[in-house]
Chains A and B, each alone.
Chain A
Amino acid sequence: EAGVVQSPRYKIIEKKQPVAFWCNPISGHNTLYWYRQNLGQGPELLIRYENEEAVDDSQLPKDRFSAERLKGVDSTLKIQPAELGDSAVYLCASSLLAGGSGEQFFGPGTRLTVL
């Protein structure tokens, strides 16, 4: 069974430029998460989807970040415009059911560097 797929794996951009990350969760997983992981820290939740609905986006900086999961499968996270402080690893995770076993399966992440 394929795991969570993310692309690109690495992205280097100049500040004020836009950037987008893509995630394809494990087949059949209804819940999708986007996390940001700063260097030396644990992941922090940005947004959680149940199917195509964003059910928790309280930690998403909505002035510059947006996300979508139009058909309830793959998802895109966008930053526009990017700032220096956005440099981090952006992780996508999925789980079969929300509030169930809590077993979230993570993708390899996208490492973003903003210059």
Chain B
Amino acid sequence: GQQLNQSPQSMFIQEGEDVSMNCTSSSIFNTWLWYKQDPGEGPVLLIALYKAGELTSNGRLTAQFGITRKDSFLNISASIPSDVGIYFCAGSLTGNQFYFGTGTSLTVIP
């Protein structure tokens, strides 16, 4: 199946710093989702985007649906230790089948 490209693959940042990551696809999508996965757990939905150009926030997290519909971005402001985990993007054209990205591993250094 298709896997979306996420970058960076991993990030090591100091607590308090802002984080930016992105996700790209070779095909267009109508829905973008961002998930966070902790070790030994399933992914947890953070933000859902349904319209090109849409900018949506969830606390310190902000995500954007790219204008081209082939990319999406996630920003985390003022990172804290509990932000540690793997962040996955997921895109879908129909809302039925979602293709997941390869993940961005975030490490926050206190």
Q: Which A positions have Cβ atoms within 8 angstroms of B?
A: 4, 40-45, 48, 55-56, 59, 91, 93, 98-109, 111
Q: A98-B95, A99-B95, A102-B92 are in contact. Are A42 and B42 (CB under 8 A)?
A: no
Closest B residue by C-beta to A98: B96
Check B48–A102 contact: CB distance below 8 A.
yes
Q: Mark B1-45, 1 if CB is under 8 A from A, else 0.
A: 101100000000000000000000000000101010000111111
Top 6 closest pairs, chain A to chain B, by CB = A42-B100, A106-B42, A99-B95, A44-B1, A102-B31, A102-B95
| Tally of chain B residues near chain A (CB < 8 A) | 25
Residue numbers of B with Cβ under 8 A of A are 1, 3-4, 31, 33, 35, 40-45, 48, 88, 90, 92, 94-98, 100-103
Count CB-based A-B contacts (< 8 Å).
Answer: 65
Q: Are B98 and A104 in contact (CB under 8 A)?
A: yes
A-B contact pairs, 26 of them (CB 8 A): A40-B102, A42-B3, A42-B100, A42-B103, A43-B88, A43-B100, A44-B1, A44-B100, A45-B1, A48-B96, A55-B96, A59-B1, A91-B42, A93-B42, A98-B96, A99-B95, A99-B96, A102-B95, A102-B98, A104-B33, A104-B45, A104-B98, A107-B42, A109-B40, A109-B41, A111-B40
